[in-house]
Amino acid sequence: MANRFAELAKHLQQRAELGYGRYGTYLCVSNGRNALVDAYQESLDQIVYLRQYLQDRYAGIELTFPGDYATHAEPSPIPHSGQPVLSYVLSDFMEPEQFDNPSGIGFIEVYRQAVLLADLLRMLIEMERANG
């Protein structure tokens, strides 16, 4: 059986080469940056990208949480064309309890996990700052 992470390894190498082309160096340890803060900032971007994907895929359909996929109950009252993705994310955050229960394997679960990862990274940064 092939290593299930072989494709990820290939893509990571490609991203490393892209970074090298842009910055003239690979990402190295002890580079003066706070990697936890960098990971947190990237995780925030990931949330927005995943929510954009959900909104694009299910345009005009009200998404429900938890749920493996969107339900087709009623069209969303929010216009989809040109709407800032952040508005959907912030709307989701108005009901944080919807992120408490796993929703199976699907697009919404990936989004939910990304939100939880970002929140965990935020807490780790706060703990690191508090401990000096």
Which DSSP state fits 87? H
The 8-class DSSP code of residue 98 comes to G
Q: What is the pLDDT of residues 2-40, one digit of tens each?
A: 688 899 899 999 999 999 999 999 999 999 999 999 999
Average pLDDT over residues 94-121: 84
Q: Which band of pLDDT confidence, cut at 50, 70 and 90, is reported for residue 60? A: low
Q: What are the Cα distances from residue 50, in Å, to 55, 108, 122?
A: 9, 9, 19
For residue 22, what are the contacts with CB-CB under 8 A and spacing of at least 6? none
Q: Is the pLDDT of residue 76 over 60?
A: no
H or E segment at 10?
helix 6-23
Q: 79-93 pLDDT, tens per residue?
A: 556 778 888 888 888
The pLDDT value given to residue 121: 95
C-alpha to C-alpha distance for 2 and 72, rounded to whole angstroms: 38
Q: What is the mean pLDDT of residues 66-83?
A: 48
69 pLDDT above the threshold of 60: no
What was the pLDDT predicted at 93? 86
pTM, rounded to two decimals: 0.76
User: Of the candidates 124, 95, 129, which has an alpha carbon nearest to the alpha carbon of residue 112?
Assistant: 95
Question: Which one is predicted more confidently, 102 or 11?
Answer: 11
List C-alpha distances in Å: 97 to 26, 40, 101, 112: 40, 21, 8, 11
Residue 43, pLDDT score: 96
Mean of per-residue pLDDT scores for the chain = 82
